[in-house]
Structure 1
């Protein structure tokens, strides 16, 4: 279950690949999604602000394997926030490279005068890139039953500020439905959502002050 791939698509323009979030929020959201992939696979658990490994057997996914190895190698770090902060530094690029290896994005370099060249990861297929946002938006508007994976993605969109796009012109009841989804998400995933939202909120506050 590669939740981070779909969140990357939510957080980036489906044509240009330009980020819809500031770098910190995008990184934290993707860090939470990567940890959620491990929780989904039964590799880690999270509760009361803490995170721990419950199964050291590596997952098949290369990126998931790397993240799990980091958790196992540093057992002294047990708080969710520490791992969100650590993984957020390069989560955007790491997930983009996973998408690139799968053929879902292409690398585009831009040359800038007197500044380092920039890199953007551009979606190859618009329908594939747009589908997570379209799917979540439709389900929220219709208050349709959601899988745990989609409920987590919707909650992560809310935690990072992307819910305004998903709920644009949606009925008021849709926002209540989103809150209900978040409240009833599986406990380890809900803990990741709570910690990600707090971290994003603190980063916004720090920027404003």
Structure 2
């Protein structure tokens, strides 16, 4: 891969869902680092968070409110916004539960279209399955290191997108599995800043964490 192509694909800031995909998957195999339930809920939260960060929606007391302004330039989030507009009576939990059914696949397809993921056939348990691996393993690995530097305060000013991404990683359990050397300090920093963030972002991360916990309890019982 040439440097020019690397610069085009691996921008300094990716969409929250795209960065979450790379950090939540092993860069060599493309396999998830967390359970499918946690991944699905986290991806749903990422897509709604993208709409918050682009100022297309806000969340207040469990309800989603659409804001007037410029429409998203991403087809994936535009379709979600149109669905919310068509069915405004659903609350945040309902939308997260609904989006979690397809969010991981939707973000995967978005990354395939962007040339950042490549579908590959592999044999598992006597059958052929499709797995998605980063087109550039070094670029995928860099996403985690870049976010770690941002949340540790060693790479300029931290953006709300990076802080929200850290909050989602905490919600799905990735900061608790030693993703980074100083994960505990980063988790404490994220928790402190998220508490002062846009209430919409706080509500989404809290609800994502709650939905994962409820799903785990159902599986155990």
State the TM-score, normalized to the length of structure 1: 0.89
| Runs (5+) with no aligned partner, structure 2 | 1-13
- Structure 1 stretches of 4+ with a deviation exceeding 4 A read 111-115, 141-145, 165-168
Distance 1:192 1:28 in 2: 10
Q: CA deviation at 1:166?
A: 5.5
Distance 1:104 1:171 in 2: 27
Change (3 A) 1:73 1:146: same
Change (3 A) 1:171 1:103: closer
Q: 2:10 aligns to what?
A: none
Q: Deviations over 1:123-161 (max 9, x none)?
A: 011232122311222344457752111000000000000
Q: What is the aligned counterpart of 1:131 among 128, 142, 148?
A: 142
Q: What is the aligned counterpart of 1:23 among 21, 32, 36?
A: 36
Q: CA deviation at 1:75?
A: 1.7
Q: 1:177 aligns to what?
A: 189
State the TM-score, normalized to the length of structure 2: 0.84
Q: 2:160 aligns to what?
A: 148
* RMSD between aligned residues: 2.2
Q: What is the aligned counterpart of 2:212 among 174, 194, 200?
A: 200
Work out the number of aligned pairs and report it: 207
Alignment pair present for 1:187 and 2:181: no
Q: CA deviation at 1:20?
A: 1.1
Alignment pair present for 1:61 and 2:51: no
| Greater Cα shift, 56-65 or 183-192 | 56-65
